[in-house]
Structure 1
C-alpha cells in the first residue's frame, strides 16, 4: 500500500497509527480454516471476531512445488527439515499436542510425542533451521507444576496422551535450560464415554456432552452441555479442576443436530477460546465460544456459513491478530 499512494504511505507509517492499529489487532482473534478439494483446490480462509465475513487466501499454486509452511507476505513456500521422528502418520499429529509460537520474522514449532513410552518434546526453530528434542521430566509433587494461568508468562502446555480418564500434559517453561515437566491429571468425566467429547489445549479441557434424540431422519446427537476444566496446581492433586459451564440459555441458541464433531481450544490474555465444528448430512456448522476467566462470563460469536460443501476440512486453528512494525 505504501507503493500505491504517498498519502497512504504517510498515514500508515505514522507511529500513532501503528500504535492504535496494533492495540486493536492484539485484541482480535482469528479463526483459520484450511479447506481443499483433493489436489485441485486449496484455500485458507480466516474469520475475525471483529468482522462479519470470511477472508479468502488462495494458496493452491503456492503448495504445488512443496508443502507448507507458507510465507503469505512474500508468497513463498519453504520446506523445513524432517523432524527427528521422521514422517508422521496423520493420526499421530495431535492438535492439542502441537504449538506454533510466531514472531514477526521467525517462529518456533513444538510437538510432544511418546518415544519408548516416554513423553518427549520436539522443537523446530526457524532461525537456526534445526530440530531439538528433550525428554520430559516426571514430577512427584504437583506443587511444582506451573499453574495454567502462567501461560502468558511463557509457559506452554501440550497434551501428549488424551485418555477418557487420564491425560499426560507436558509443560514447557520459558527458560530453555529447564527440562519440560509431566503432569498426569485424571477425571472421572461423569456420564457415558459415548455421550461426551474431550477437546484439549493450553492446559485446559473442554467436555462436550450430548444426547441422542429421535427425529424424522432417525436418531441424531444434540448438545446437552459444554464444560471447561483446567490443570489443578494444588499440592498432591492429580485431577482436572472444574472451571465453568456454558449457560443453558446459550446452549439452546447454539444447539443443532450433528453427526460428527471436533474442536480446538486456546487460552490467551485470560480468555479461553473454543471452536466446535460439527457435520450433519454433509453440512458444516461452526460454534465459536469464549470464556473470560476474570469476569466469569461466556461470549458467543456467530460465524457465517464457511461454504464447506464439497470440500474437505484439512486444518483448523485460532490465532491472534497481526501487528505492524
Structure 2
C-alpha cells in the first residue's frame, strides 16, 4: 500500500510538471466521467482542471430504457471517449416518481439537468445529476400532458450559467391564435407564454430555434433570452417523400428505398439519400446545405423497419443520429457536418446491448456539465 501511494504521488507530481498547454490537451481528450474522477482523485491537479474544463466533454448521445424507476438507467455515449457509460438515475427519479409510476419518457439533457415525462402523472420531472435532486414541474399552460404530447423535436432544456441551480425549459406550439412559445423557469417556478410574431429578419443572435409543426407547413419559432418570440414558415422547394428530422434551425431529409417485404406486409427499407437543409436568412425557405456522400449512405444503409432520429447544431457542427430497428435490434448511425469546413464525418458507435431495448427517449447534447458531481457514472462492460 505504501509503495502504491508513493508511485501515485510521484506520477501526480510528474504530471503537474508538464506544461499547461500539454495538460489542457490531455484533458481535452478525456470524457466527462474521466475528468470528474481525475478531479476527485488529485487535489494537485484541481487548478489545472478548472482552467481546462471549460468547453470540454464532447457530444453526448443519451438513450433511456423503459424500466421501473427503481431500475432506471440512462445510457450515454460520448464521441470523444468513443464508449458507452451508465448514468444511475433510479434513486433521483424515485424521489419524484413514487413506486408504481414506471411509465417515464426521457426528453432532453443540458448542463447538470435531465428532463423526463411521466405518462401516469402527466407531469414533467427534472433531475439534477450533480446534486441528486429532482423536482416535478407544474402543468404547462396547455394543461397536463401525456408522454405522446412531448415526443417532438421542438423542445429545449437550457441550463443556467455555471454555478447556478436553475434551468429553463422551452417548447413551441401552434394554437388557434398562432405559434406560441411556452417557457418554464426554475428560478421563478412558473410558466409564461409568448405569442410569436412572424418576421422576415434573421433570428436574433443566440436564439433557440424550436420546431412547432412538421411536414410541408413547418413552423420554426425563435426564442430570445428577453422573452421575445418570432416565427418563420420555411418552405421546402423540392416536394417528395422522406423522413424529416428537425433541430436548431436545420432539417435532415432521409429518403429510403424498399429492399424486401416480410410476413404481414412488413416492409424492409434502407437509406438511399440523406440531405441537410438550413433556413434562408429571412426564414422563408429551406436551402440545401449538403448531400451526404456515398460512403456515409452505405454506412447508414443497413436494413430497417422503423427509424427515428435527432439533430443538434453546436459551434457550427451539425450532429445527426439515426436510430433504426430491424427484427428487434436497434442500430445507431452518427454523422456530422462541419458547416465551416463543408465536410461530412461520422462517429463509430459500438454495440450497447440493444436487443429487445424498449427505447423510451433519445437526445443529443453538447453542453453536459463539468462541475463536481454526485457519484460518477459506471463504464459499461
Shorter-chain TM-score tier: 0.7 to 0.9
Q: State the distance in 1 between where 2:360 and 2:80 align.
A: 24
Q: State the distance in 1 between where 2:40 and 2:221 align.
A: 50
> Which residue in the other structure is 2:137 paired with?
80
1:175-254 matched pairs, under 5 angstroms: 175-176=226-227, 179-191=228-240, 193=241, 196-214=242-260, 219-234=267-282, 238-254=284-300
Deviation at 1:42, TM superposition (A): 1.8
Q: State the distance in 2 between where 1:8 and 1:238 align.
A: 53
Deviation at 1:248, TM superposition (A): 0.8
Deviation at 1:5, TM superposition (A): 10
The alignment partner of 2:54 has SS state of helix
Deviation at 1:215, TM superposition (A): 7.5
Q: Residue by residue, what CA displacement relative to the aligned partner does 1:152-181 show, whole Å, maximum 9, x if unpaired?
A: x41111111112x221111112333xx311
The answer to whether the aligner puts 1:264 opposite 2:310 as a matched pair is yes
Deviation at 1:39, TM superposition (A): 5.9
Deviation at 1:62, TM superposition (A): 2.7
Question: Measured at CA, do residues 145 and 305 of structure 1 come closer, stay the same or move farther in structure 2, by a change above 3 Å?
Answer: same
> Which residue in the other structure is 1:323 paired with?
370
Q: State the distance in 1 between where 2:68 and 2:40 align.
A: 43
Question: Measured at CA, do residues 112 and 5 of structure 1 come closer, stay the same or move farther in structure 2, by a change above 3 Å?
Answer: closer
> Which residue in the other structure is 1:133 paired with?
193
The alignment partner of 1:318 has SS state of strand
- Give the conservation status (yes or no) of the 8 Å contact 1:145–1:181: no
Question: Measured at CA, do residues 6 and 203 of structure 1 come closer, stay the same or move farther in structure 2, by a change above 3 Å?
Answer: closer
The answer to whether the aligner puts 1:309 opposite 2:362 as a matched pair is no
The answer to whether the aligner puts 1:11 opposite 2:59 as a matched pair is no
Alignment length (residue pairs) = 305
Q: State the distance in 2 between where 1:211 and 1:33 align.
A: 27
The alignment partner of 1:241 has SS state of strand
Q: For structure 1, which runs of at least 5 residues remain unmatched after alignment?
A: none
The alignment partner of 1:199 has SS state of strand
- Give the conservation status (yes or no) of the 8 Å contact 2:267–2:305: no
Q: State the distance in 1 between where 2:226 and 2:189 align.
A: 20
Question: Measured at CA, do residues 219 and 108 of structure 1 come closer, stay the same or move farther in structure 2, by a change above 3 Å?
Answer: closer
- Give the conservation status (yes or no) of the 8 Å contact 1:277–1:287: yes
Deviation at 1:23, TM superposition (A): 4.4
> Which residue in the other structure is 1:24 paired with?
56
- Give the conservation status (yes or no) of the 8 Å contact 1:97–1:158: yes
> Which residue in the other structure is 1:161 paired with?
213
The answer to whether the aligner puts 1:51 opposite 2:85 as a matched pair is no
The alignment partner of 2:52 has SS state of helix
- Give the conservation status (yes or no) of the 8 Å contact 1:173–1:180: yes
- Give the conservation status (yes or no) of the 8 Å contact 1:289–1:300: yes
Q: State the distance in 2 between where 1:190 and 1:35 align.
A: 36
The alignment partner of 1:22 has SS state of coil
Q: Residue by residue, what CA displacement relative to the aligned partner does 1:32-56 show, whole Å, maximum 9, x if unpaired?
A: 1111235663211111111132110
Q: What is the RMSD of the two structures over their aligned residues, measured on CA atoms?
A: 2.6
Q: TM-score, normalised by structure 2?
A: 0.74
Q: Residue by residue, what CA displacement relative to the aligned partner does 1:223-263 show, whole Å, maximum 9, x if unpaired?
A: 101111111124xx722111011111221123200000000
Deviation at 1:60, TM superposition (A): 2.5
- Give the conservation status (yes or no) of the 8 Å contact 1:229–1:242: yes
Runs of 4+ off more than 4 Å: 1-7, 215-219
Q: Residue by residue, what CA displacement relative to the aligned partner does 1:76-118 show, whole Å, maximum 9, x if unpaired?
A: 2211222111111333225321101113322111001123251
Question: Measured at CA, do residues 4 and 44 of structure 1 come closer, stay the same or move farther in structure 2, by a change above 3 Å?
Answer: closer
Q: State the distance in 2 between where 1:5 and 1:231 align.
A: 42
Question: Measured at CA, do residues 98 and 7 of structure 1 come closer, stay the same or move farther in structure 2, by a change above 3 Å?
Answer: closer
The alignment partner of 2:43 has SS state of helix
